Amino acid sequence: MSETIYLDHAATTPLDPRVLEAMLPYLSERFGNPSSIHRLGREARQALDEAREVVAGVLNASPQEIIFTSSGTEADNLALKGVAQALFLEGKGNHIITSAIEHHAVLHTCDDLERLGFQVTRLPVDGYGLVHPEVLAEAIRPETILVSIMYANNEVGTIEPIPELAEVAHQYGIYFHTDAVQAGGALSLDVETLGVDLLSLSAHKFYGPRGVGVLYVRRGVPLLPQMHGGGQERGRRSGTENVAGIVGLATALRLAQEEREAYNAHCLRLRDRLIAGILERIPSARLNGHPIRRLPNNAHFCFEHVDGESILVGLDQQGICASGGSACTAGALEPSHVLIAMGVPPEVARGAVRFTVGRQNTPEQIERVLDLLHRIIERMTRA
């Protein structure tokens, strides 16, 4: 068996052993329910409070503005449905603006809101996947209540100009949400600098556990709860808290932000070598996404005249884990909505492969991937 080379960190990341260590007591002896008044309950409550403080600190927010959820998907759903429905009930309007390249956690939530009678504008992007502030400004209507644009794209890694976009929304008094799920480990999450009112995160994208997320909601932003029950999370998200998961999320977020500079430098070195090597050796390769404004670990290519799925199978046979785009749409035969929105022709978009490097990758692994990829594509184009 050849060594496994994991280049799919945008899909999920391995759990950091330090995070696991922080979580273990809450999966074993410290099993209390944070709502219980006895000692075990109080211990769990304290862990929850401390985790909230840590997350708030990283986001430059206050603990009351942090809502723990079951995933990035739930955070996105709560942000969009929660704000849209609350403002609609206040008679404020029914128009939402998002972009054509969002994750399906946002796009399908918008589809659902449309079925309920909301109107949705999906902004176009340029060839790099960038949303332009003037395009946003033109789409704003008197009845617009919410704008949701992702911080960094999960397929091509393009980083959106969030402070500029949020400023446009605020000029018209409109709330701004960003899906920062892919940005969690790599970019600053300071909500004041970003100027956002709501921000979604997911622990498993920055070496935390799967199944736990965060929604930051600025004080004063109206939000209709989507989960009803025991009134946890200040009544905004009922359900007994996933204490171990939340402790894991907070630990992973703290470590990710403390170690961000070194981590990004490590990823950049490997990612840039991968990009240069692919462009050098494979003439049919074209890099997607912005050349500079992109996540430091992302290399996304289309290989012309070959099918991305077949490349992935060939790589997998050699122990290399990459992805065709987002893990959630992997297996679907449709070309990626992100690439189509960027103007990539459908037949080219079918040759998409995303490599996302991470902490444990080495320069030797990158050289091995370059060798194997070159051979796989050569064999496919000859066949």
Please report whether residue 73 would count as binding ligand PLP according to CB under 6 A: yes
CA distances from 185 to 45, 64, 372 (A): 26, 23, 29
Q: How far is the CB of 180 from ligand PLP (least distance, A)?
A: 8
Instruction: Select the span of 83-91, 174-182, 299-307, 364-372 touching ligand PLP (CB under 6 A).
Output: 174-182
CB closer to ligand PLP out of 15 and 328: 328
Q: Does 149 bind ligand PLP (CB under 6 A)?
A: no
What whole-number distance in Å separates Cα of residue 203 and Cα of residue 181? 8
178 binds ligand PLP (CB under 6 A): no
By CB under 6 A, residue 72 contacts ligand PLP: yes
Site residues for ligand PLP, window 201-240 (CB under 6 A)? 202, 213
**Cα 375 to Cα 311: distance, rounded to the nearest angstrom:** 10
Element (H, E) at 99: strand 95-99
- Binding of ligand PLP at residue 289 (CB under 6 A)? no
Q: Closest separation between CB of residue 157 and ligand PLP, Å?
A: 11
The CA distance from 121 to 316, in Å, is 39
* 328 annotated active-site: yes
Is 181 a binding residue for ligand PLP by CB under 6 A? The answer is yes
179 binds ligand PLP (CB under 6 A): yes
Residue 264 beta carbon to ligand PLP: minimum distance, rounded to whole angstroms = 18
Decide whether 103 or 122 has the Cβ nearer to ligand PLP: 103
**Residue of this chain nearest to ligand PLP (CB atom):** 72
Q: 239, 232 in Cβ contact below 8 A?
A: yes
Distance CA 145, CA 147 (A): 7
Among 78, 105, 147, 191, binds ligand PLP (CB under 6 A): 105
Interface residue with ligand PLP, options 85, 94, 109, 154 (CB under 6 A): 154
Q: Cα–Cα distance between 244 and 236 in angstroms, integer?
A: 20
Binding region for ligand PLP (CB under 6 A) out of 67-75, 168-176, 337-345, 359-367: 67-75
Cβ proximity to ligand PLP, 93 vs 213, nearer residue: 213
Beta bridge partners of 175: 146
The DSSP string of 218-251 is: -TT-----SS-SS-TGGGTS-S---HHHHHHHHH
Q: Could you tell me if 155 and 355 are in contact, meaning their C-beta atoms sit under 8 angstroms apart?
A: no
Contact 80, 146 (CB under 8 A): yes
The answer to whether residue 148 forms part of the interface with ligand PLP (CB under 6 A) is no
Q: Are 256 and 185 in contact (CB under 8 A)?
A: yes
Contact footprint for ligand PLP (CB under 6 A): 71-73, 76, 103, 105, 150, 154, 179, 181-182, 202, 213, 326, 328
Catalytic residue annotation: 328
